[in-house]
Amino acid sequence: MNKTEILKYLHENGLSPNKKLGQNFLVNEAVSGKIVDSAGIIRKTVIEIGPGLGSLTEILIQQAASVTAVEIDAGISGFLSEKFKNSSNIKIIHSDFLKYIDSEKYDAAVGNLPYYCSSEIIFHVIDAFFPETAVFMLQKEMTERLISKAGDAAYGALSASVSLYYHYDSSFNVDRHSFFPVPEVTSTVVKLVKNKNIPEKQVRDMFHLTVKSAFWGKRKTVLKSLSDSPFMNFSRTAVSEALEKSEIDEKLRAENISTEKFLKLAENLQKDRDYEI
């Protein structure tokens, strides 16, 4: 959709973009096409988060086998149902995506995400759908946090947690003037691809507690933050032993510990817990 079409719809319906819902609509059709192409969704099943007025949706349905588009705004989802009433491969769902689950298997998740809850949306995509690929438009800083590695300035709990499930494939920046209204921030489209070996649930749960604990005590050493953590209950000796087995220096801080090392640590802590049981 271009800017004229979007302004026409908003005007005809007496609406203005809802800032609280992060409604910055894509009005650059070339960018919309580039996002959809980067997702590689030909004949695939797609879940779209926050379709808005359908800038990406109208291209997605031309390529994908099917599209489920989940939109929180009642007026907009009504508009979309009308707009796509003659398309047989799209389902419009009026729902808060953070509360939405279904039993479909999706190959890809695509979305120009509302920035106020983009990390929650990413975790919900992983927990509820876990598609092979995910293509998100995010605030540039958020993308940096998502794809940074241990030791980078932007590395944090989000980077470590998401990279247990997905690795970085590609990204590109999008000019602010590709949106209406023009946002204050710069946006980046990032493509993530699912990792091959995902650990079993018990280890994943321990991994998340370990990462949360380590970053909770960010300025502390990993030995201290894990021993004092309000999220888990290991003695200083148990943490020290698990760190040694994982070949992690106990004086390191969370921001210098890689996802792989956190995983090793979680496995060793889990073994210790199995032993206790």
Stretch that binds ligand SAM, among 111-119, 158-166, 194-202, 227-235 (CB under 6 A): 111-119
Least distance from ligand SAM to the Cβ atom of residue 50, Å? 2
- Separation of alpha carbons 98 and 75, rounded Å: 19
Q: Find the binder of ligand SAM among 36, 46, 56, 248 (CB under 6 A).
A: 56
Stretch that binds ligand SAM, among 69-77, 197-205, 209-217, 232-240 (CB under 6 A): 69-77
Q: Find the binder of ligand SAM among 44, 46, 51, 159 (CB under 6 A).
A: 51
Nearer to ligand SAM, 73 or 107 (CB): 73
Which of 253, 158, 249, 161 has its CA nearest to residue 207?
A: 161
Stretch that binds ligand SAM, among 95-103, 147-155, 193-201, 262-270 (CB under 6 A): 95-103
- Separation of alpha carbons 233 and 224, rounded Å: 12
Rounded to a whole number, what is the distance in angstroms from the first to the last CA of the chain?
59
Nearer to ligand SAM, 182 or 198 (CB): 182
Residue appearing with tokens 């220096």: 249
Q: Find the binder of ligand SAM among 73, 107, 144, 267 (CB under 6 A).
A: 73
Distances (CA, A) of 239 to 25, 124, 145, 201, 232: 48, 30, 27, 21, 11
Least distance from ligand SAM to the Cβ atom of residue 217, Å? 31
Which of 207, 197, 203 has its CA nearest to residue 261?
A: 207
